[in-house]
């Protein structure tokens, strides 16, 4: 072992002498991670062995609480590692990631399948009524039992051995999938010549020049495969052949027959998931995953998706005909294609609503939208934000704010990493370096939002599209779920809830971004400081439901494909592309619209299992979020204090400490009303007035 990796020299293994004991990123090198993980695995294994071999009779303190206290170093090291792998990777980290994913599976398998541990937990569950537990403790005991049971702790030894093999292989395949996707995204870009800029707004060109500079191509302009680059290009470029080239490259990620191809990876993942579900007694992987969710069954999920699919498809087909008519009106002698939809839809929106994204982007600067997100949180929950420049970060673009509660006490740190770069995987997400808990004194969370917005060039601010601004509020809603968490136990902290409930706090928060009083205050022209003109605001609000057929079809088709991948026999899926075509034909997918995530780039469901058979969750949560915002509308005040207090207490601060259905009913006073989703998207056909 070199001097650089000796424990005393490894910053991951030392006490952090930084503000709020945050990771000292400048000191942390790739070579520090494997030794740190080795130590963390060893520490955790020893802690688990002590619980397993405790001679005292099992009780809540020596079993459940002891489990909650275990693994602190592992959580700390893993938090830093996975933040860097997702947000600022390099070849050395990606190589380490391959080994860590395998080691992580090998570490957790014997813990989660430990018969003695499971026996102690099961015994406590059987006598839980006599233990005098609090509500949170009862919930923790039940969730701990469920986690071990669903991991295979009750299986015989042969089945456990096979389950461990499956878990290790799935860990490898999930890592490979995400690395392949990142590889395809990093390898491709399209340089724009001056003649290629026709139709592109100045803000896009500035971002394209900034993206080129990021890749060492100063003075040039490029389109990358980041969604924040692709979608505005498809909306604005008048060059149909370039739109086609960009669209096809975006759609082909992970499906190019090269070293980054994900087709075979998907087939193996599906076979192994099916086998793991069968070992646990479930007919399909979807049945296994959904048992531990609000939806409970594949049939319930399919029912929701099909209810939404029918009106969305009908709306999309009507819109398609209108777009084709617009092509013909302009003298175009071609059938509308997927790379045309956004372009002609934008034209139609300009005509019908007299609105286009380019008109509002100068008023949606990143800094102003961050201020808006913070201000809404202050008005709803009393928290305040002040920027800190003394907290170490992993990239110069990352910003940090200290969050204080309404009494001025430290509550959290919030890290914002907003700009696209080659070292970052695509998409937007919330994660944490440390979760809130009160098991051994108050532990304040370190919460992260990562986005992929285009950076403004030459000192100009980053200008957001309405979709970008909504994404910022969405991820900040997740962030608030982590920052406002007020539970005792780490396993129940923040976003540790069912997958089909976790999107409620984030999607609900999006509603405030599009409220007139918020936009009037924070949507200001980046050059003049002038507020958003009332006329433009009205046109923006009127245009919100435009193209919802397309957006809903794009999402629901992806959710249905996910469900079918995990309900149909894996042996019946021998070719991913053929399966995709077959399923799209079955549901009558309009040829002019593509999946939001084609299988080979569907990281939600294949780079790990968090959303596997669970992509529907966004829509399940949208039923709740559309209904939940109605509570503020009914109160006549989008910042109504009484409603906000219930929202804080029952949803944002309670983490996983209570059943999500109970939490929702406590907030709303009733179960969600499903048609709220269709109304929000403008897809509910209302009868004509008499």
**Cβ-based neighbour number of residue 582 at 10 Å:** 14
Residues pairing with 430 in the sheet: 449
- Biggest alpha carbon–alpha carbon distance for the chain: 84
Contacts for 305 with CB less than 8 Å, ≥ 6 apart? 556, 559, 560, 563, 616, 619
Annotated catalytic residue, options 137, 274, 346, 475: 475
Distance CA 655, CA 507 (A): 16
Distance CA 69, CA 635 (A): 42
Distance CA 483, CA 448 (A): 10
Taking alpha carbons only, the member of 30, 29, 36 closest to residue 14 is 36
∠ CA 525-531-533, rounded to 5°: 105
- CA 514 remoteness from chain centre: 21
Taking alpha carbons only, the member of 358, 420, 419 closest to residue 202 is 358
Whole-angstrom CA distances from 381 to 384, 572, 658 are 9, 51, 20
Are 160 and 113 in contact by the 8 Å Cβ rule? The answer is yes
Whole-angstrom CA distances from 128 to 133, 250, 344 are 7, 53, 61
Q: How far apart are the first and last CA of the chain?
A: 83
Phi–psi pair at 331, nearest 5 degrees = 90, 10
Token pair 């794009």 is found at 554
Distance CA 346, CA 263 (A): 34
Whole-angstrom CA distances from 170 to 21, 158, 426, 584, 595 are 34, 18, 22, 27, 25
Active site (annotated) includes residue 475: yes
**Cβ-based neighbour number of residue 47 at 10 Å:** 19
> How is 584-604 classified by DSSP, letter by letter?
HHHHT--TT---SS-GGG-HH
> Tokens for 93?
């980290």
Q: Kindly calculate the radius of gyration of the chain based on its CA atoms and give it in whole angstroms.
A: 25
Phi–psi pair at 180, nearest 5 degrees = -60, -45
Give buried/exposed letters for 279-315 (b at 16+ CB in 10 A, else e).
Answer: bbebebbbbbbbeebbbeebebbbebbebbbebbbeb
DSSP secondary-structure letter at 330?
T
Taking alpha carbons only, the member of 146, 92, 182 closest to residue 288 is 146
Are 603 and 178 in contact by the 8 Å Cβ rule? The answer is yes
**Cβ-based neighbour number of residue 630 at 10 Å:** 17
Are 327 and 344 in contact by the 8 Å Cβ rule? The answer is yes
Distance CA 276, CA 279 (A): 5
Pairing of strands 399-404, 222-224: unpaired
Distance CA 373, CA 364 (A): 12
Whole-angstrom CA distances from 3 to 10, 11, 51, 247 are 9, 12, 34, 49
Residues marked as catalytic: 475
């Amino acid at each position: 072992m070199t001097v650089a990796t000796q424990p005393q020299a490894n910053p991951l293994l030392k006490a952090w002498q930084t503000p709020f004991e945050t990771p000292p990123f400048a000191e942390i090198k790739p070579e520090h991670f494997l030794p740190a993980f080795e130590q963390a695995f060893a520490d955790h294994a020893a802690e688990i062995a002590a619980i397993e071999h405790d001679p005292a009779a099992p009780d809540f303190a020596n079993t459940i609480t002891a489990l909650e206290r275990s693994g602190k170093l592992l959580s700390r090291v893993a938090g830093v590692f996975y933040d860097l792998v997702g947000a600022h990777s390099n070849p050395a980290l990606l190589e380490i990631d391959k080994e860590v994913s395998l080691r992580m599976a090998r570490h957790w398998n014997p813990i989660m399948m430990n018969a003695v541990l499971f026996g102690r937990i099961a015994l406590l569950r059987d006598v839980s009524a006599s233990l005098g537990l609090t509500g949170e403790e009862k919930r923790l005991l039940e969730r701990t039992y469920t986690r071990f049971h669903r991991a295979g702790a009750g299986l015989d030894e042969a089945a456990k051995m096979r389950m461990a093999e499956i878990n290790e292989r799935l860990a490898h395949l999930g890592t490979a999938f995400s690395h392949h996707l990142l590889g395809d995204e990093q390898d491709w870009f399209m340089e724009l010549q001056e003649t290629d800029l026709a139709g592109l707004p100045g803000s896009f060109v500035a971002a394209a020049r900034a993206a080129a500079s990021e890749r060492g191509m100063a003075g040039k302009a490029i389109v990358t495969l980041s969604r924040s680059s692709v979608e505005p290009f498809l909306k604005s470029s008048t060059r149909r052949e370039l739109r086609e080239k960009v669209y096809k490259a975006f759609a082909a990620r992970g499906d190019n027959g090269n070293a980054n191809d994900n087709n075979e990876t998907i087939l193996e993942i599906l076979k192994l998931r099916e086998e793991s579900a069968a070992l646990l007694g479930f007919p399909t992987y979807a049945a296994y995953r959904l048992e531990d969710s609000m939806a409970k069954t594949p049939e319930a999920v399919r029912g929701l998706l099909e209810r939404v699919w029918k009106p969305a498809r009908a709306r999309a087909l009507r819109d398609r005909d209108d777009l084709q008519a617009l092509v013909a009106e302009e003298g175009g002698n071609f059938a509308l294609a997927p790379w045309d939809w956004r372009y002609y839809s934008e034209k139609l929106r300009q005509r019908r609503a007299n609105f286009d994204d380019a008109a509002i982007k100068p008023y949606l600067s990143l800094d102003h939208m961050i201020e808006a997100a913070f201000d809404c949180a202050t008005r709803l929950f009393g928290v305040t934000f002040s920027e800190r420049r003394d907290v170490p970060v992993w990239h110069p673009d990352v910003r940090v704010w200290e969050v204080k509660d309404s009494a001025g006490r430290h509550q959290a740190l919030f890290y914002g990493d907003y700009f696209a770069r080659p070292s970052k995987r695509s998409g937007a997400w919330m994660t944490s370096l440390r979760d809130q808990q009160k098991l051994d004194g108050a532990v304040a969370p370190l919460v992260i939002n990562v986005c992929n917005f285009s950076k403004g060039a030459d000192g100009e601010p980053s200008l957001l599209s309405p979709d970008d601004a909504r994404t910022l509020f969405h991820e900040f809603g997740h962030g608030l779920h982590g920052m406002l968490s007020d539970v005792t136990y780490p396993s129940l902290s923040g976003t540790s809830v069912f997958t089909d409930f976790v999107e409620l706090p984030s999607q609900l928060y999006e509603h405030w971004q599009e409220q007139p009083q918020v936009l009037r205050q924070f949507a200001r022209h980046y050059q003049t400081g002038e507020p958003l003109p009332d006329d433009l605001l009205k046109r923006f609000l009127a245009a919100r439901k435009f193209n919802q057929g397309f957006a809903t079809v794009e999402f629901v088709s992806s959710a249905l494909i996910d469900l079918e991948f995990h309900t149909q026999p894996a042996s019946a899926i021998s070719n991913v592309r053929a399966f995709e075509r077959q399923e799209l034909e079955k549901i009558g997918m309009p040829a002019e619209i593509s999946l939001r995530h084609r299988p080979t780039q569907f990281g939600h469901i294949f780079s790990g299992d968090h959303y596997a058979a669970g992509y529907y969750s966004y829509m399940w949560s949208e039923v709740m979020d559309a209904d939940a915002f109605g509570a503020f509308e009914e109160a006549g005040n989008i910042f109504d204090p009484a409603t906000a207090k219930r929202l804080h207490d029952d949803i944002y601060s309670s983490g996983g400490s209570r059943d999500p259905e109970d939490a929702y009913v406590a907030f709303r006073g009733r179960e969600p009303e499903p048609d709220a989703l269709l109304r929000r998207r403008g897809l509910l056909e209302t009868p004509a007035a008499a």
